Amino acid sequence: MSERTTASLAALDVLLARLPALPDNAERRALIDDAEALRRAVAAFHMEAIRFRMHSVDREIRALGEDVAAREAFEHVRHELETAGFHTRSHAAPGT
């Protein structure tokens, strides 16, 4: 872990702590798996994996019915990653 990823990893820990409260089904399990993979990608500074997993987690939260707490935690992760200089969207750079 570096100073660059500290806030992002902390935000991911908050998101991961909220996910078990969602209804238990295959979609929630996939969401947790992808969120854990996103955390590993951030810790490894793996840019392509970060973009891919951000897309997956975003899509899975949407598919689960837009849980407000999960969405807010996810958007905080996005903010922290973009503040640290990571691109979280494949179609646009941070701030665009």
Domain boundaries, the chain: 3-83
Please write the tens of the pLDDT for every residue from 18-59.
Answer: 999 999 999 999 999 999 999 999 999 999 999 999 999 999
Output the six-digit token pair for 8.
């992002």
Q: What is the mean pLDDT of the chain?
A: 90
Select the more confidently predicted residue: 13 or 89.
13
Q: How many CB atoms lie within 10 A of CB 14?
A: 14
By the 8 A CB rule, do 84 and 7 touch? yes
Report DSSP state, residue 93. Answer: -
Q: What is the mean pLDDT of residues 67-93?
A: 88
Rounded Cα–Cα distance for residues 83 and 29 (Å): 28
Rounded Cα–Cα distance for residues 89 and 45 (Å): 15
pLDDT at 96: 46
